[in-house]
Each structure stands twice: as C-alpha cells, then as structure tokens.
Amino acid sequence: MESVAAVARSLRAGVEKSRALGQALARAGPRMEEIQLALPALEAAVRPIRAPRAELAAAGPHIDRAVGPAAAVLKVFDAVHGLEPPLLAAGAVAGDLAGYLAVLGRLEEALRFLSDNSGLAAQWLADIVEYLGDHDLADPRFLADLAVTLEGLKNPSGDLDGGLLAAALDMLEAEFRRLLADHSAPLALAMQQLNTTSASTAAPSLIPAATVHKLSLILDRLIANGRQDRCLSVYADARGGVVSDSLRALGLDYLRNPVDDAQALGPGVELWGRHLEFVVRCLLESERQLCNKVFGQRKDDASACFADVAAHAGILDFLSFGRAAADAKKDPIKLLRLLEVFDSLNKLRLDFNRLFGGKKACTEIQNQTRDLVKLLVDGAVEIFEELLVQVELQRHMPPPPDGGVPRLVSFVVEYCNRLLSEKYRPVLAQVLTIHRSWRKETFSDKMLVNAVLNIVKALEANFDVWSKAYDNVTLSYLFMMNTHWHFFKNLKATRLGELLGDAWLQEHEQFKDYYLTVFMRDSWGMVSPLLNREGLILFSKGRATAKDLVKQRLKTFNASFDEMFRKQSAWVIPEKDLREKTCGLVVQAIVPAYRSYMQNYGPLVEQDVSASKYVKYTVDGLEKMLSALFIPRPRRAGSFQIRHSNDKITSAMTGFYRSASTVK
C-alpha cells in the first residue's frame, strides 16, 4: 500500500509538472509568433551584412548619385516654404511692388526648378530601389512601398508649392483691380471739353505714369502665369466703365431711338457729329494710348482690350445711328443729312484707321463703318441724281391759286444754294467722286456745278407752264411777276447767282418789270378810265342830264372796282418791297383820278338822297383799301405730290411735300 501510495504521489507530481509545462508553453506561444514575425525584418536588417562585400561597395556610388539631386530638390522645397511670409503678408503688394515681384520671381524660378528636377530625382531614386531589389540588398516589401511612393513623384502635379503661387497671383490681381479702380474716375468735364477745341485731342490720362508702369508690371506676371483672360476682362470692365460714365452726362439716348424723318434728324445729326468726334478723338484715343502703354508689346491683347472698351463707349451705337439716317425716308433734306453724316465720318477717317484698322478684335467696327460709308454714298448720289427729274415732274402740278411764289421755287433756290455752300459742296463733290470711282468713271467739280445749274434751269422752265394753268390771265401776270422777282432777289449775291451770271439774273428782273406793267395795264389800268369826263361838258347847262351821267359812271366804276378788289383781295405778293411798289402803282392809277373826279362832279350827286348808292368810297378810304392789297396770309400745310415718270403718285421725295407746298 505504501508502494501504491508512493506511485500515486509520483504520478500526481508528474501531472502537476505537465500542467505547469503546458501552461508555460501556452504563455510562450505569442512570444514565438512575435519572434516569427520579427525574423524577416531581422533577416532584412542583417541582409546587407550577409551580402557580399563587393556588391555592397558597388551600390554606394549609385546611392550617392541619386541622393544628391534629391537633396537639392528638398533644399529648394525648403526655400519655397521660406517664401510664404513675404508673399502672403497683408499689404505686401501695395507696399513694395518691385520687392514683391522679385520674391515672386524667386518663387517662379524655384517652381520651375522643382518642375524640371523633381521627377528626375524621383526616377533616380526609383532606379536605386530597383538596383537594391535586384541585388537583394534590402527588404523587398520596404522596397515595394518605396517604389510606389517614388512612382507618384516622377510626374509631379502643378501644386508643388501647396498653392503659394496661386495665392500670390490672387494678391497681384487684387492689386491690379485696386489700381484701376483708384484711377478710374469718369471725366467730370466731358461736356466742357466737348464744347472746346480740346475735344479734338486725346483727353489727358488720369492714371499717373508710375501707376501705368505698375499695371504693366503686374500684367506681365499675371499673363505669364496663364491669367490673360481674367486680366483682359478686369481691364476692359474698369476702363469701359470709365468711358461709359464719362458719356452718360452727354445724354446719348437719342442714338438708340432715332426718328425716321430727315428734317427732324437735323439737330440729332449735328449733335451726333460732335459727340462722335469727342468719343473718337478724345476718349477712345486716350484709351488707345493707355492700352498700348499698359500692354506694351502685346499688340493682340491691347487690341482685344481696346475693342471691349470701344464697345462700352457705344461706338456701334454711333454707327447704328448713322445707318438710321441712311435708312430714313427718301427726301431732298435727307441728302443734306447724308452729307453731314459722311462729312463727320470722313473727318475722323484717319482716327478710325488708327484706332480700329488692322485689328482683328475690331473687325465688326471696321465692317459696319465700311457698310455705312457705302450706304451714305449710294443714298446721297441717288437723291442728287433724282432732283432734276423731280423738279421736272412738278411742271404739271397746279400753281398757287393766290398767284404767290410756289414753295418749290423757294425750296429749290435755297436748297441749291446750300448744296453749293462751303459746308456741303466739297462733301458732295467727294461723295460723287467716290461713287464714280467705284464705276471706274471720273468726276469734276464742274460737273457738280452744271448739275445744280440744270436743276435751277429746269425750275425756271416750269414758270411758263404754271402761268398757263391760270384761267385768269391777269393772275398769271401777277404769278410771273412774283416768281421772277423772288428768283432774282433770292439768287442775287449768292454763290448760285454768281454761277448763273448777272445777265441771267437781270433777265428775271426785267421779266418782273414787264409783268408788273402788263398786270397794271390789264387790271387797274382798265378801271380809272371809267371815270372819264366825256360828254359832261356838252351837258354842263343841263344839270339834271349831267347828274345822271355822273351817277351812271360812278356806278360803273364802283362795280368794276368792287369786282377787281374782290378778286385781288385773294391774291398775294409775298415780297414786301414789290408789294409796296405794286400797291403804290395801283393807288396812283386809281386815287388821283377818283379824287379829281369827285372834286369836279361829286357835288352833283352828294346832295342827292340816294348819294350813298353812287359815292361808296371816300378818297382816303379808297387809298387805305388799295394800300392793304396783296398781303400774304398764313398758309396751312400742303404739298407738292411727287410723281414718277409713269405718273404714279409716290412719297419717295417727301421733302418736297413739306418744303414746296402750293396749297394755301
């Protein structure tokens, strides 16, 4: 039993030892796993020691060659980070632009170095990693991770500086905006300049030369870094706003709402010419010079920017207004408007060429200007060549019923004198020359003069036709007297009259005298003989018989006088001097004869109960009546209707409608 007990104790002790050993092994398991995991790293760490000495020695130079460029790149990266404070400091740009641009230049240079060398340094390091792997000189897993990292560095992104360059450029752009804004006040004296000779020269730049230099320096850096479009937009908006604000005080709303009437366009065209000259020679020339200074040698950028500024100045609106004048209703007055518009453009031709010529960005302005000039030339020539025909077509229209001067006569005389004036003649000659040159034909000033003289002579030929349209021959005499005198008086001492010659003018004066004579002879000259004294002497002893004869002759005189006065009270003599002369002749023809007759024979009837039937007028009353004849009365609006050769009435030449009315 004791032996069994001893065995049992021995077995129990063995079991306890086995249990303790199992527990110890269980505790050692994780440690063994850790050791197992650490063995590859330890193996990698000791691999270079285990590697052959020759291979390790050969790897050294390769590693040195790769690490040198990488170290240089890292050094530049450190330098880039060192530039952050001076580039991002508040007010750094405005405080010292030159210094800021110098620092920015260092940043740009560093980034160019990094862009050129970062990928190359990464490639060299990747080659070393590959060499180490190929020769089993380092841990493969470590080398694999390193290779992935280096692969991403072979093609570096543009953000090598962490956004520092973009932030610096934003600050430069903000300074560019500020400089433009601080010096972009509108021209406060635009209207005053418009009314002085200074409007013909470029407005002095309100931007100091130092500021222009700063703008140019900033622009260089921004454009060099790909911000061209933003710069152009900022500049065009700022300077375009200046031009717009400068013009706002001029009141240019009329440009967008032109009337379709040549007569009403007159003040607008005159104002348009002055405004256009101010915009082109003052504002836009100043802006062109500024663009050239700011953009320097960047001609295309300057042109594009200037084109935008010109758009803000409404240059296309000015051209549209000119086109509206060209598209207005056909009218003789329209010819004057077309010549005025052409003259304004022609005076600015060199300025337009300097501002807009040869610039792709200004192509639309060039095309619209060219088209407008062609419209003006074609339209002016068409109207001018049609004037003679239109005057001839008026020949068969009725003359004024009151014997006055047809408005066509007044209009054509004044109109032709205006065409030959210093204001219009050279312009019209140039227009005609241009138009002929397009057709490979020549033109001379003499041809222009002859064309105008032919219009006047065609008008003169209308006189006889018009006079024959009157049923009353005496009225036709009055009409011819009026018309010839008006012709003479309004052509004398004029350019047109000089061209026609004194002999030609004197003929019209002689015609006036002739028709005045026959008018008096066949009208009032027939009245006074009715107060003759024939037979009164024979019956002087027979008072009753003489009295009856006086009554009869006074009755006949009164009837003839009343009829004559009634008719001629509706007639007019527009020219005051001719009217006074004619009335004087009428008074001289009637009043002395009436006074003498009444003095001698009036007493025979004045005591008669029916005296008022025969003695209707006193001498003074008769003189007042006759002195008040032929005074024009206001005419209501009327018109000559213009006909084409096919006798169809048209409103193609509505200027004759307004300016040559014949209807009272």
Q: Give me the count of residues in the chain.
A: 664
Element (H, E) at 614: none
What pLDDT does 184 receive?
Answer: 75
Q: Which of 548, 565, 556 is nearest to 531 (CA)?
A: 556
Q: Which of 269, 287, 291 is nearest to 341 (CA)?
A: 269
Q: Which of 449, 576, 561, 473 is nearest to 522 (CA)?
A: 473
Q: Burial-class residue 436 by CB neighbours within 10 Å (0-12, 13-18, 19+).
A: middle
What pLDDT does 658 receive?
Answer: 44
Pull the structure tokens for residue 549.
């004869």
pLDDT in tens, 73-83: 566 556 666 77
Pull the structure tokens for residue 153.
């560095």
C-alpha to C-alpha distance for 77 and 63, rounded to whole angstroms: 21
472: left (phi over 0), alpha (psi -120 to 50) or beta: beta
Element (H, E) at 635: none
Question: 642 by DSSP, 3-state: which?
Answer: strand
C-alpha to C-alpha distance for 104 and 86, rounded to whole angstroms: 9
Element (H, E) at 565: helix 543-568
Given a contact cutoff of 8 angstroms between Cβ atoms, the answer to whether 536 and 550 are in contact is yes
Given a contact cutoff of 8 angstroms between Cβ atoms, the answer to whether 235 and 180 are in contact is yes
C-alpha to C-alpha distance for 622 and 589, rounded to whole angstroms: 12
Q: Write down the H helix ranges in 279-314.
A: 285-295, 299-312
**pTM higher than 0.75 for the full model?**
no
**C-alpha 81, offset from chain centre:** 54
What pLDDT does 473 receive?
Answer: 96
Given a contact cutoff of 8 angstroms between Cβ atoms, the answer to whether 148 and 71 are in contact is no
Query: What is the C-alpha end-to-end distance of the chain, expressed in Å?
Result: 170
- All residue ranges of the chain with pLDDT < 50 are 189-198, 538-539, 637-655, 657-664
Question: 383 by DSSP, 3-state: which?
Answer: helix
Residues ≥6 apart with Cβ < 8 Å to 449: 420, 499
Contacts of 10-14 with C-beta under 8 Å, sequence gap 24+, read none
Q: Which of 115, 103, 37, 119 is nearest to 70 (CA)?
A: 119
pLDDT in tens, 97-154: 888 888 888 877 776 666 655 555 555 566 566 556 655 556 566 666 666 665 555 5
What pLDDT does 648 receive?
Answer: 37
What angle do the packed helices 209-224 and 285-295 form, to 10 degrees?
A: 50
**C-alpha 589, offset from chain centre:** 65
Extended strands (E) in 386-532: none
Q: Which of 348, 278, 289, 341 is nearest to 313 (CA)?
A: 278
Given a contact cutoff of 8 angstroms between Cβ atoms, the answer to whether 431 and 339 are in contact is yes
